[in-house]
Chains A and B, each alone.
Chain A
C-alpha cells in the first residue's frame, strides 16, 4: 500500500499544475472556478422558485421510503418492467452487469450511447474497450470529450463545457479538415450534420435512466439535445443500464425526481421520455404486435453492486443512496471551485466523485483523488435538494484513511499533537 506521504506528494504534484496556465488542469479549474458558484445557481427565477419551494420538501421523504425499502421496490420494479414487455435483469455486481450487457449486445460491434454516468461507473465503457466494441457518443459534451481524447474528469451534466469554441474549431479542423467558425451555432450545426445521420443508422443504443418507476415500470429520461429521443426510438434495440437507486416508488415520484434534477440546476430540458417497453401496435385486428416504429426490443439491467449491502448493514454509504444525481453539489463545492478536476475521480467531480471512487476502487484511490481537499464547508449538503449528508460521508472516509495511515503528514502531526499534547499547534 502507498503511504500517506506518497499520496500527499502525489496530490501536491497535481496541484502544481494549477500554476501552469497551459495545463489541462489549470484550464478546467479556471473555467470551473468562474462558472460554478453558490450564488449564481441558487438565484432561481420566479417560476423555478415557485416550483422548487412547492416540491423540494417532498423529495427527501420519497427517497427515504425508497432507500428503507430498496429490495421491495427493486422487486416491484422488476415485475412492472417485465409486464411492459421489456427484458429486465438484476445484476448483483458491476462485473455481472458487464456480462449481461455484452450478452445483450450480441454480435453487434458498434454501440451508440447517450451520456451515462452509470455506464462509466459500472465499467461498461471499459468492457466495450476490452471487447473491441466501438462506442459512439451522441451527447455533444461527450462527443467533444471523445474528439479531444480528454482523459481528466469533467462536469458530468456537460462534460465538454470547459472547451473554448476556438479550441473546438481548431480541433475540428485538425480531425475533420473542416473550417468551422468558433461559435456555438456553427459548432452545433457541424455536429448535427456529422452525428445525426449516424444515430439514424444505429442498431443498438445504450442509455441510463433518470428515474425508474417501481409501480408501472417506466424508464424516465430527461434531455435537451434530442439524442436520447432518437436513440430510444430509432435503433431496433435499446439497452438501459442503471443502479437500483434510480428506482422510485411511483411514476409521480419519477416526475418529481426528474423535474427537481432539472429545476434545481435552473435547467429545463426539452424532452422527458417515459418509456414502457418496446414499441407496439394493436391495429391489426386488435392483435398486439411488438416492434412498430420505435424499438423492437428493450433490455433493462438494474445494478445492485454495493447498494442493498449498504442498506442491510446500515453503513455510512446508505446515506449516499438518497442522491438523485442532480449534480448541484458540484457547483457549490469549495474544493472543486478552487482546484477544479484535481478534486475528482473518473466518476465525477467533488464529493460524489470521491465517494464513488472509494466504493469501486478503495480508500487509497479516494485519497489520491483528493479526499483530504474537502474543507467540510457543508455547501454540498446545504444546497442539495435531498440534503444528502455528503460531508458526513467524507468524514467517515477520512477516518478510514487516517486509520490506514493515509492522511497527509501535516494533518497527521496535528492529530498526534491533539492526542499527546492536547493542542494541535504545540
Chain B
C-alpha cells in the first residue's frame, strides 16, 4: 500500500521549487508518503488529441501504479488531478487509485491544525485565489478546499476575484494552447491581473501549474504590484515563517 506524491511533468521538468514545497508539506503531514522514480506522464494532451494514445497511456500508467502498489496519490498539479479524476475512469472503469489534489489533502482539519498557519508580517495581508478550469470542470470539482485553507490562515484576508468559482476566467494555457498560441494567454492573463488589481490583493494564489506558468510569464512583462504564488509554495513559506515581500 503506497501513498504517492505525484508532481506532474510540468512541475518535475520546469518547476522543481514547487515539487520541493509540495513534498515538504505532504511528508510533514503524512511521513509515509513517497516519491517514486521516473513517474510516467498522466497523458494530459493525449486526451485532447489522440484517442488510442490516451487509452494506451492510461493503461500503462494504471499498470505502473498497480505494480508499485499505489493505492492513493496526491498531486500538486490541477491538470493531473482533472485527468485522473475525470478521464481515467472513462478509459478504465475499474480505476481505483484514490486521487487527491494537494488542496484536498491540506484542508483536512487535523492538518490545518498541525500547520497552524499565520502570515508573519506586521500587518494583515490581502490575498486572492483564482479557480482554474482543471479544478472547476473536474468530475469532482474543487472550489471549497483551497478557500478553507486560505481563509483559515491568521493575519490573512482572502479577497474574492471579480470572476470566481464557476465564473472564473481561463488562463488561456489549457489543451496545449500555451505551447503554440501564447496570444490567448496574453489576453486572458491580463484580464485576470486586472481582476487581482481590483481585489486589492497583494498575493495571487493559484493551485494550477499551467495557470502559474502563464501568470509568471506575464508577471515578468507587466510587473504587477502583487506576487504570484502557487498554493503549496505559499503554504510552505508560511509554515517556515517566511515573510513574503
Asked if B28 is an interface residue, CB under 8 A from chain A, the answer is no
CB-CB nearest 4 A-B residue pairs: A377-B170, A338-B187, A425-B13, A376-B175
Do B47 and A411 touch (CB < 8 A)? no
Chain B nearest CB, measured from A337 CB (Å):
7
Beyond A334-B169, A334-B188, A376-B133, is A18–B47 a contact (Cβ under 8 Å)? no
Which residues in window 396-421 of A have CB below 8 A to B? 398-399, 402-403, 407-411, 414-415, 418-419
Among A39, A338, A382, which residue has its beta carbon within 8 angstroms of that of B188?
A338
Beyond A398-B48, A423-B12, is A338–B183 a contact (Cβ under 8 Å)? yes
Among B14, B38, B184, which residue has its beta carbon within 8 angstroms of that of A338?
B184
The CA-CA distance from A419 to B58 in the complex, in Å, is 12
22 sample A-B contacts, Cβ–Cβ < 8 Å, listed by A number: A38-B163, A338-B172, A372-B176, A373-B181, A373-B184, A374-B177, A375-B133, A375-B170, A376-B48, A382-B137, A398-B49, A399-B50, A408-B180, A415-B53, A418-B44, A418-B45, A418-B57, A419-B46, A423-B41, A424-B9, A425-B9, A425-B10
Do A377 and B181 touch (CB < 8 A)? no
Asked if A15 is an interface residue, CB under 8 A from chain B, the answer is yes
Asked if A245 is an interface residue, CB under 8 A from chain B, the answer is no
Do A377 and B174 touch (CB < 8 A)? yes
Q: Which of B10, B12, B181 has the most CB of A within 10 A?
A: B181
The CA-CA distance from A395 to B172 in the complex, in Å, is 16
The CA-CA distance from A378 to B86 in the complex, in Å, is 13
Do B177 and A422 touch (CB < 8 A)? no
The CA-CA distance from A410 to B182 in the complex, in Å, is 12
Asked if A42 is an interface residue, CB under 8 A from chain B, the answer is yes
Do B9 and A415 touch (CB < 8 A)? no
Interface flags, A329-356, vs B, CB<8A=1, else 0? 0000011011100000000000000000
The CA-CA distance from A372 to B181 in the complex, in Å, is 8
The CA-CA distance from A42 to B185 in the complex, in Å, is 23
Do B183 and A379 touch (CB < 8 A)? no
Asked if A11 is an interface residue, CB under 8 A from chain B, the answer is yes
Beyond A415-B46, A422-B40, is A33–B187 a contact (Cβ under 8 Å)? yes
Among B9, B43, B133, which residue has its beta carbon within 8 angstroms of that of A377?
B133
Chain B nearest CB, measured from A362 CB (Å):
18
Asked if B179 is an interface residue, CB under 8 A from chain A, the answer is yes
Interface flags, B48-81, vs A, CB<8A=1, else 0? 1111010001000000000000000000000000
Do A423 and B9 touch (CB < 8 A)? yes
Secondary structure type dominating chain A contacts: helix
Chain A nearest CB, measured from B114 CB (Å):
33
Instruction: Look across to chain B and name the residue whose beta carbon is closest to the beta carbon of A12.
Output: B181
Do A419 and B53 touch (CB < 8 A)? yes
The CA-CA distance from A374 to B170 in the complex, in Å, is 11
Q: Which of A8, A375, A419, A425 has the most CB of B within 10 A?
A: A375
Q: Which residues of B contact A (CB under 8 A)?
A: 9-10, 12-14, 38, 40-41, 43-51, 53, 57, 133, 137, 162-163, 166-167, 169-170, 172-177, 179-181, 183-188, 191
Do A418 and B46 touch (CB < 8 A)? yes
The CA-CA distance from A426 to B57 in the complex, in Å, is 17
Do A410 and B172 touch (CB < 8 A)? no
Among A11, A42, A373, A402, which residue has its beta carbon within 8 angstroms of that of B49?
A402
The CA-CA distance from A418 to B40 in the complex, in Å, is 9
Do A378 and B133 touch (CB < 8 A)? yes
Do B13 and A423 touch (CB < 8 A)? yes
The CA-CA distance from A81 to B14 in the complex, in Å, is 63
Do B44 and A15 touch (CB < 8 A)? no
| Seed contacts A15-B181, A398-B49; 7 additional CB < 8 Å A-B pairs | A15-B183, A337-B187, A398-B175, A418-B46, A424-B10, A425-B14, A426-B9
Instruction: Look across to chain A and name the residue whose beta carbon is closest to the beta carbon of B167.
Output: A38
Beyond A377-B174, A424-B44, is A334–B49 a contact (Cβ under 8 Å)? no
B-chain residues with CB within 8 Å of residue A382 when the two chains form the complex: 137, 166
The CA-CA distance from A426 to B181 in the complex, in Å, is 20
Number of A residues contacting the other chain (C-beta, 8 Å)? 43
Do A374 and B175 touch (CB < 8 A)? yes
The CA-CA distance from A214 to B187 in the complex, in Å, is 45
Instruction: Look across to chain A and name the residue whose beta carbon is closest to the beta carbon of B166.
Output: A382
A-chain residues with CB within 8 Å of residue B175 when the two chains form the complex: 374-376, 398
Chain B nearest CB, measured from A344 CB (Å):
14
A-chain residues with CB within 8 Å of residue B49 when the two chains form the complex: 395, 398-399, 402, 407, 411, 415
The CA-CA distance from A425 to B188 in the complex, in Å, is 23
Instruction: Look across to chain B and name the residue whose beta carbon is closest to the beta carbon of A372.
Output: B180
Do A376 and B174 touch (CB < 8 A)? yes
Instruction: Look across to chain A and name the residue whose beta carbon is closest to the beta carbon of B43.
Output: A418
The CA-CA distance from A398 to B191 in the complex, in Å, is 27
Chain A nearest CB, measured from B40 CB (Å):
4
A-chain residues with CB within 8 Å of residue B174 when the two chains form the complex: 375-377
Do A39 and B167 touch (CB < 8 A)? yes
Instruction: Look across to chain A and name the residue whose beta carbon is closest to the beta carbon of B185.
Output: A338
Do B169 and A338 touch (CB < 8 A)? no
Which residues in window 1-60 of A have CB below 8 A to B? 8, 11-12, 15, 18, 33, 37-39, 42
A-chain residues with CB within 8 Å of residue B137 when the two chains form the complex: 377-378, 382
A-chain residues with CB within 8 Å of residue B43 when the two chains form the complex: 418
Do A11 and B177 touch (CB < 8 A)? no
The CA-CA distance from A39 to B186 in the complex, in Å, is 20
B-chain residues with CB within 8 Å of residue A337 when the two chains form the complex: 187-188, 191
B-chain residues with CB within 8 Å of residue A379 when the two chains form the complex: 170
Do A395 and B53 touch (CB < 8 A)? no
Among A38, A377, A411, A423, which residue has its beta carbon within 8 angstroms of that of B180?
A411
A-chain residues with CB within 8 Å of residue B46 when the two chains form the complex: 415, 418-419
Beyond A425-B10, A425-B14, is A375–B163 a contact (Cβ under 8 Å)? no
Instruction: Look across to chain B and name the residue whose beta carbon is closest to the beta carbon of A370.
Output: B181
The CA-CA distance from A28 to B10 in the complex, in Å, is 35
The CA-CA distance from A74 to B187 in the complex, in Å, is 44
The CA-CA distance from A18 to B183 in the complex, in Å, is 9
B-chain residues with CB within 8 Å of residue A424 when the two chains form the complex: 9-10, 41, 44-45
Chain B nearest CB, measured from A416 CB (Å):
10
Do A410 and B183 touch (CB < 8 A)? no
